[in-house]
A and B are shown apart, each in its own frame.
Chain A
Amino acid sequence: MSMINTSDILETIGMITSENLDVRTVTMGISLLDCADPDPKKACEKIYNKITEKAARLVPVVEKISTDYGIPIINKRISVTPIAMLLASAPTADPVEYAKALDRAAKAVGVNFIGGFGALVHKGFSAGDERLIASIPQALAETDIVCSSVNIGSTKTGINMDAVKLMGGVVRKAAEITADNQCMGAAKLVVFCNAPEDNPFMAGAFHGVGEPDCVVHVGVSGPGAVRAALAKLPKDAPLDEVAELVKRTAFKITRMGQLVGNLAAKELGVPFGIVDLSLAPTPAVGDSVANILEEMGLESCGCCGTTAALALLNDAVKKGGVMASNHVGGLSGAFIPVSEDDGMIKAARCGSLCLEKLEAMTAVCSVGIDMVVLPGDTPAEVISALIADEAAIGMVNTKTTAVRVIPAIGRKAGEELDFGGLLGYAPIMPISTYSPSVFINRGGRIPAPLQALKN
């Protein structure tokens, strides 16, 4: 048939229909640097106007591409300049008002989420940063689709432990004041080390200061397609063949993302930023990163061998994806969010996956301790210390790490939280109850690590 092989056609259709292959998100990055104003009312008006103008056509254009081309595109999102930068020039402003302006604008254009209610404080706080951080719990409780992220460390600067100390309390409070809504506030908040400035995925998306005024990024998905490809390999196929097959599949998935990105950028008249070639799972059966690891030959995700299998997967996804796109960025790798991944949920429930193993896994994949539900009585210092541990892994390994944990206020180990939709559901995972409080309360900075003499 013409230039296209029938088996290629059937493979693609099968990937889309039975293996959950989709473009997870088209995210428009919008700079709000020109919206700063000493008068908070004016600033919020400018924010609303700029977002609704730039993103006016985002949703219809992306939906039309999906219909015309027959490619499922799940989310339309917006990322903006970290709002703390706008607060710097408005010392009397209430940051929550800015969050509400973001929420209104995002709803007006019909996107699923808007990210960027955040601050970059990896070396210290500038004007506006501490006010924004303190307002995060309230802002997330009083808005619906605003996401927040704070970058507290980097390989070049070390870790801002004053910010780490603050963020433990912020995560806990975000959960406390949304306790009647599955502690949802904390599910919309990420604490980063080495945060990428062009990440299209939530909750961590924000529009970095080095980005153009407006840009379109694409995040692909496709763990189901990778797992299905691996299922066809014989169980005694060597791991080189496993890696090769993952690469081939990642290439195809990424090409679909690149196509959508090019089309969207052209139609919207803005530059195409990057393809984030992450394997992003969903709670749907089969659309799971954990299942890929199990397909490689692990009885249950979290058993010994999981870190090695994940390292292979993450690297092969990058190698396959890089050639498929002219600009790769964002997080790009395998995501391991517990509540958003059917296989991870099962592994956490049966006890094969524990928090300590997840932490080890984050050293070799693209994010961190993500969508993990903690016991409701977990103290702020313990959350801060978990953030510090993750940040240290990211800092030393020159990679992004993040923490998005949800203390299940009023609940204990054995119970579950259900966030609904793509955020999924998860059992509470036990965490060490020994206190790191003296360490956390020291504050200060952990110095940047050596980049040589690495062992």
Chain B
Amino acid sequence: MKAVITVVGKDTVGVIAKVSAVCAELNINVEDVTQSIMQDMFCMIMLVNLSRCTQDMDAVRARFAAIADEMGMELHITREEVFDAMHHI
């Protein structure tokens, strides 16, 4: 059960650290990370594995929403299957 976490917003210190810390806290394994700056916007994409996550998705979303608010950035968690369906024939 894999998902993609995207974080978009004004670049601040410690974005990857904060998102990774929540992943560790919820026992979510980070498999890959990529980041870039596009038009002054920081954009981080993290591929994670939720198989051993200790919380249900409602709790996971609430936890990540809290740090997104804290950082003032937009954070989205989307299951890998959505991208597979939309972008692979």
* Residues on A with beta carbons closer than 8 Å to the beta carbon of B3: 70
Given contacts A9-B6, A16-B76, A17-B74, contact A69 B34 (CB under 8 A): no
Q: Is the CB of B86 within 8 A of A256?
A: yes
Given contacts A1-B34, A1-B47, A10-B43, contact A70 B78 (CB under 8 A): yes
Return the chain A residue nearest B38 by Cβ.
A10
- Chain A positions 1-33 with a Cβ under 8 Å from a chain B Cβ: 1-6, 8-13, 16-17
A2–B79 Cα distance when bound, in Å, is 14
Residue A422, interface by CB 8 Å: no
Q: A9-B6, A13-B6 are in contact. Are A4 and B76 (CB under 8 A)?
A: no
Q: How far is the CA of A6 from the CA of B35 in the complex (A)?
A: 10
A5 neighbours in B (Cβ, 8 Å): 87
In the complex, A177 has a CB within 8 A of chain B: no
Interfacial chain B residues near A252, Cβ < 8 Å: 86-87
> Out of A4, A67, A256, which one reaches B58, CB within 8 Å?
A67
Which of A1, A4, A67, A68 is within 8 Å of B84, CB to CB? A4
Q: Given that A1-B45, A17-B74 are known contacts, is A259 also in contact with B32, CB under 8 Å in the complex?
A: no
**Interface residues as binary, A51-87 with B (CB distance below 8 Å gives 1, 0 otherwise):** 0000000000000100111110000000000000000
Closest chain A CB from B34 CB (angstroms):
5
Q: Does A288 contact B (CB under 8 A)?
A: no
> In the complex, A2→B33 CA distance in Å?
10
Number of contacting residues on B, CB 8 A? 29
How far is B76's CA from A11's CA once the two chains are assembled, in angstroms?
13
Chain A 386-422 interface 0/1 with B at a Cβ cutoff of 8 Å (1 = within): 0000000000000000000000000000000000000
CA–CA, A381 and B81, complex, Å:
53
Interface residues of A in 324-363 (CB under 8 A from B): none
Contact: A70 with B77, CB < 8 Å? yes
B81 x A69 contact (CB < 8 A):
yes
List residues 54-89 of chain B with CB under 8 A from any CB of chain A: 57-58, 61, 74, 76-88
Q: Quick check: is B4 within 8 A (CB to CB) of the other chain?
A: yes
Known contacts A6-B45, A67-B61, A259-B85: does B78 contact A12 (CB below 8 Å)?
Answer: yes
Q: Mark B13-44, 1 if CB is under 8 A from A, else 0.
A: 00000000000000000011010100000010
B83 to A12, Cβ gap below 8 A?
yes
B57 touches A67 (CB 8 A): yes
Contacts of B45 in A (CB 8 A): 1, 6, 9-10
B87 touches A13 (CB 8 A): no
Q: How far is A45 from B41 in the complex, measured between Cα atoms in Å?
A: 58
Q: Which 3 A-B pairs have the closest CB atoms?
A: A70-B78, A8-B87, A69-B79
Provide 15 A-B residue pairs closer than 8 Å at the C-beta atoms, listed in order of the A residue: A1-B47, A4-B83, A4-B87, A6-B45, A9-B6, A9-B45, A10-B6, A10-B43, A10-B45, A12-B82, A13-B76, A70-B3, A71-B78, A252-B87, A256-B85
Given contacts A6-B36, A6-B45, A69-B78, 6 further A-B contacts (CB under 8 A): A2-B2, A4-B80, A4-B83, A70-B77, A252-B87, A256-B86
